[in-house]
Structure 1
Amino acid sequence: MQLPKLTPPADPHVVQDFFVPVFWGITDADEIAAFARAMAKRMAGGVHFADNFLSWGRNNSMFDDQPFMTAWQGNLGDHAIDQATVWRRYILACAGYHAVQIEGDFVECGCYRGTAVKVVVDYLGGPEFPRQFWAYDLFEHDDSDPHHAMPEHGPDLHAQVQARFAGYPTVRIVRGRIPEVLRAEAPQKISYLHLDLNQVGAELAALEMLFDRVVPGGIVILDDYEWSMGYRPQKLAEDPWFDARNYRVFPLPTGQGLVLKR
């Protein structure tokens, strides 16, 4: 495959600001947004404010990567969260850029609507994506599940995600509960592993099943690792799990965690 190419920004002196007021864990989103807008006027530029993440004086490099922008914008739809999480998506795209150059399949556990998978695949060739990409989810939710429901969980979601990847022959949408489904269908070698399961038991089970299959040089992204609030139990359980194997998780300001496999 031909890897996406970086091109110089049209104006090297201009850094794009990004302001999408989508937040969690607050009581008054409008008040927080107004405060941040007022603060941004006093900042040097290179502002990012979205996804519970305010920074300034940053290059916001994702907006200089035109192939990524094409992939990201092509998968926004009408979901504000997909716009707000652009930095998280770029972390995944950069991880994919690295992982597609070594042996191993791509895996995402907790694909939901498939947006994160599709941004990465579209960034790295679209229908010509050269690796097998395994995308797992239950696609439905009931009150007995330990993780919280998402708005589009339901009996139609699985078919909708399958239809979204029609014409993408290397993407496999797999329905089932972790870890059981991994015992039935999972690759032996993995270069890219993205876990976004929103609950500690399933993530530890996925790590137990899949981490040893990640090849040296492979990348693991934990979507919830550096989020507190309802997600802190995942970090508290995953830290000793990785420590027992002499690994440290890179905590990212996006709320993700990153692990480089030796």
Structure 2
Amino acid sequence: MENEVISAKNIRKEYVIKKHFLTGRVKEKVAAVKNASFSLEAGKTLGIVGESGSGKSTTGEIAGGLQKATYGNVYYCGKNTAEMSSDEYREYRRNVQFIFQDPKGSMDPNYSIRDILAMPIETLKIAKDKKEVDLLVDDILQKVGLDLKLKNKYPSEISGGQCQRAAIARALVVNPRVVVCDEPVSALDVSIQAQILNLLKKLQAELNIAYIFISHDIGVVNYMSDSIMVMQSGSVVEQGDAKQVLVHPQEEYTKRLIESAFIN
């Protein structure tokens, strides 16, 4: 597809759980993801939903380059990531960022919010000097709705909702094309969840970002997604347009997820 920004073809991830104690020969493996495929266009959201252990987070990490697939391929803008040059791979990794479930746990507690946001700008040489770095930091803080006074505070000194906004700012400060949102609101109060979800949708509309949105909550996925991929025990059991999947689910597992979220 012309607007396809990221896709996966038959990705499988296996982990060795038992080796022979003398020879080191693999005796037992477990598959966390079994032949999953998807494609995602710029500015759209793919929701990946399933219970804990379904393989959804592993799928997101493989898509973003945090893990390598045992088999199968990931494509960024039509290019196989396994065949990229070092420069191409660096560009891919810059353009696929992550927002994690625990924002405070994903940030170094020894750095201020300003330094946490400035680090990727400086590492990737996006700004030419400190003044430009500070301008970019201030701009992204305003975009995510944070008071500029908070940039001198540390993650432990701000609330969970503020910290998740800072985590969103860190993901977006390098101007990525794709963001993998791995349970980004599950640790937050319900009222704060709504604020963060609305913020993500607002930023997507402004910046034309594609999201891979991972959650165990099909209600949240329903609100965020254009298409949905339902996973169970590492396998994709249902996939398609979000409205079609939610209104006319084909699989019993999908129906149970919908019933548990009280979606009518």
Larger Rg: 2
TM-score class normalised by the smaller sequence? 0.3 to 0.5
Normalised to the residue count of structure 2, the TM-score between the two structures is 0.34
Between structures 1 and 2, the one with greater strand share: 2
Normalised to the residue count of structure 1, the TM-score between the two structures is 0.34
Structure with the larger RCO, 1 or 2 (CA within 8 Å, 6+ apart): 2
